[in-house]
Copies of this chain bind each other. A is one copy, B any other.
């Protein structure tokens, strides 16, 4: 199982612009057949800091997610409002 933390940093004046884009991205991604979980969070100390916690069966499933119509359409729209580059972290579950 692959766990992912993906973090976005959005300009304060554009938080309202990204909300419907994130809403659609979460909804469509949860409908992907290989998606185990895909949940979005907001830093309690920074309303422009958005944090995805994702779970995929393997790297191929994550790659397939990044190649979906909704990902390729919505992520560039979100990214235009970034104040700094996003980060992502791929993790194995501790045994």
Q: Is the CB of A92 within 8 A of B45?
A: no
Q: Mark A79-95, 1 if CB is under 8 A from B, else 0.
A: 00000000001111110
A42 within 8 A of B: yes
A contact residues, range: 20 to 34
- Tell me the interface secondary structure of chain A in the complex: strand
Q: Is the CB of B53 within 8 A of A3?
A: yes
A5 within 8 A of B: yes
Q: Mark A40-71, 1 if CB is under 8 A from B, else 0.
A: 11111100001101000000000000000000
Report which of B43, B90, B92, B93 forms a contact with A91, defined as CB distance below 8 A. B43
Q: Is the CB of B94 within 8 A of A22?
A: yes
